[in-house]
Amino acid sequence: MQVTLRARVFDCEEEALQAVLKKEIKPGDALFIRYEDPKGSGMPEMFYTTEAIASDPELAESIALITDGRFSGATRGPAIGHVSPEASEGGPIALVENGDLIHIDIPARTLSVTGINGIEKHLRK
């Protein structure tokens, strides 16, 4: 219910999906897919990436997927979607960088980021 992960950031689902399929995403990663919002790419469903993660027993329970895109009822595992304000609107998700530490606290309903430079960034409650 509470975890700290390391950010892996992608600006489109296709790049993120390739990273999952090529085994570049590792346990302990927080996979960010941004610019998939209505003004970005039109808000397609993140189905293929969530299925690729769920199909990998090592990743299915050890990473999180965070996006300003959308999910459907088929999504499984730790997934946070519809993050707003979205990256294309200049929302905080646009500030996340590879290597940032991501703290997810589900009971407190918070997602916070500590940048690789030690500066804390709050995504939203």
Place of tokens 């609107």: 89
Active site residue 72: yes
Could you give the CA distance from residue 116 to residue 12 in angstroms, rounded to a whole number?
22
Q: Which of 69, 15, 71, 17 is nearest to 42 (CA)?
A: 69
Selecting among 55, 62, 72, 88, the annotated active-site residue is 72
Question: What Å distances lie between residue 36 and 14, 79, 83, CA to CA?
Answer: 11, 15, 10
Beta bridge partner(s), residue 104: 3, 111
Q: Determine the 3-state secondary structure of 43 from DSSP.
A: coil
Catalytically annotated residues:
72
